[in-house]
Amino acid sequence: MAADTKYIAEQPADKRVLLEQLRAIVVKTVPDATVTIKWGVPFYERGGKKICALATFKDHVGINFFAPPAALADPKKRLEGAGKGNRMLKVRTAKDVDAPSITRWLKVAVAAAD
């Protein structure tokens, strides 16, 4: 069983559905990503460099994109975080799973890792 599959299977049903949707976008966009568990959550990497991570929180699921914040165009101001190298999208419902934006942010993270 893949590390992310085990992590997702252990989450509450409502969060599991959201994690599965996010993982499907990650796998489609970055099919050659490898998955490792760090700090208890799945990280998707390419060439040993972080692309994104999925995590469950009390009131949402998060997907972190590892790229310079200025490169992550976000006109709707949905990404959060003050770190120098990543931003998080908080996903509370299926309506928050904006596949085109998530795909675009993943591609930026891949470019930053290359």
What's the pLDDT tens digit per position in 60-105?
999 999 999 989 999 999 999 977 899 999 999 999 999 999 999 9
- 4 near 35, Cβ under 8 Å? yes
Model confidence band, residue 1 (pLDDT cutoffs 50, 70, 90): low
Q: How does strand 41-46 pair with strand 79-80?
A: unpaired
Instruction: Report pTM.
Output: 0.94
Check whether 53 has a pLDDT greater than 80. Answer: yes
**Chain length of the chain:** 114
Domains, in order of start, for the chain: 3-113 (3.90.1150.200)
